[in-house]
Amino acid sequence: MISNKLLKSTLSSVLLAALAVGFSAPAFAATKTIKISHQFPGGDGADVDFRHRLAVKFAQEVEKRTNGELKFEIYPSASLVKPTSQFSAMQTGALDMTVLPLAYEGGKIPETNLGLMPALVTSYEQGLRWKTAPIGKALSDVVEGKGVKIITWVWQAGGVASKSKSIVQPADAKDVKIRGGSKEMDMMLKGAGGSITNVPSSEIYNAMQTGVLDAAVTSSTSLLSFRLYEVAKQVTTARKNTFWFMFEPLLMAKSTYNSLTPAQQKIVTEVGAELEKFAMEESKKDDVRLGEVYSKNGATASDMDDAAFAKWRELAKQTAWKNFAENVKNGQQLLDMAQAVK
């Protein structure tokens, strides 16, 4: 039998050893790797698609402020998840974050079509004011109810690239095979007489090259990043007016967000908000660069005057807005809240 004296001595030794280890070993917080996937071209430099640079800036700053507790892997050019599968991948936990045109989910979550409602938002500043307005809370609640959280509010203006005639007024779209980018945008273009074919922005180049599309409406940044000036002869810019303002936020899976510590969540939220100014500034630069780059490559750049925009807006009200109000739950209320933001 073990004597009481020997037992006490052994226990004391074990306790002292445990305490020694506890006090001498450095305390390291567990690191977590977060995966960001998006469909846009990657790379380095000031001319690289700003949506990729946004993801990089976010990753670098969050990693810095968390002292390396959060690390990131970024997969550009849809190299990890297909563009139309990114939202569902976040819902299932297969993906942590993405930069995504929210209207891509319009078929499953009809409220998100509000983020690409033709001629509804008319300036970057107006779009960003949604964030703190009732419409912003309503849209955030819808998205969070589907398991995804908005981290950075990003709006982008856009234009129209065409292989033949310039598309400035509704009459110009008649009989044109055109890509709109959302259900509601397609509805307006169809009302103008266009023939609708929809593909992700990363597939527009091939569709125009092969004759599937004659023209495409997308963001100024995508019109540049995907080098559509190589297949287009005309472009209508967003320098003056545009019926295209798209909500394309940086998103995080709620399961990922909820797995973070409160301190980490605070950093993620703060960095996301800080990058909204960067996104707006870079978007505006691309609106200007669009005409310059296309002209340099032999295309004709046109602008939309107030009269042309008024025609598009009236057509949008008769088609897309009307459909949204009638067929989406609380659709008219959502439209009213959006229009209340000036």
The pLDDT of residue 46: 84
Q: Quick check: is 157 in a domain?
A: yes
Q: Quick check: is 58 in a domain?
A: yes
User: Taking the complete model, does pTM exceed 0.85, yes or no?
Assistant: yes
CA distances for 254 relative to 51, 140, 143, angstroms = 21, 12, 10
pLDDT beyond 50 at 14: no
The pLDDT of residue 22: 42
pLDDT beyond 70 at 45: yes
Q: Quick check: is 102 in a domain?
A: yes
Domain holding 323, by residue range, is 32-339
The pLDDT of residue 336: 98
pLDDT beyond 70 at 251: yes
Q: Quick check: is 24 in a domain?
A: no
pLDDT confidence of 24, banded at 50, 70, 90? very low
Q: Quick check: is 213 in a domain?
A: yes
Pairing of the two strands 234-236 and 155-162 = antiparallel
Q: Quick check: is 132 in a domain?
A: yes
The pLDDT of residue 29: 59
CA distances for 103 relative to 106, 181, 186, 200, 217, angstroms = 5, 8, 12, 11, 14
DSSP track, 3-51: -HHHHHHHHHHHHHHHHHHHHHS---PPPEEEEEE-SS---SSTTS-HH
The answer to whether the CB of 271 falls within 8 A of the CB of 260 is no
> Would you call 99 exposed, middle or buried from its count of C-beta atoms within 10 A (0-12, 13-18, 19+)?
buried
Number of domains the chain contains = 1
Angle subtended at Cα 171 by Cα 181 and Cα 229, rounded to the nearest 5 degrees: 50
Q: In CATH, what number is assigned to the domain containing residue 182?
A: 3.40.190.170
Q: Quick check: is 163 in a domain?
A: yes
Q: Mean pLDDT, to the nearest integer, of 287-313?
A: 97
pLDDT tens figures, 92-147: 999 999 999 999 999 999 999 999 999 999 999 999 999 999 999 999 999 999 99
pLDDT tens figures, 232-250: 999 999 999 999 999 999 9
Q: Quick check: is 244 in a domain?
A: yes
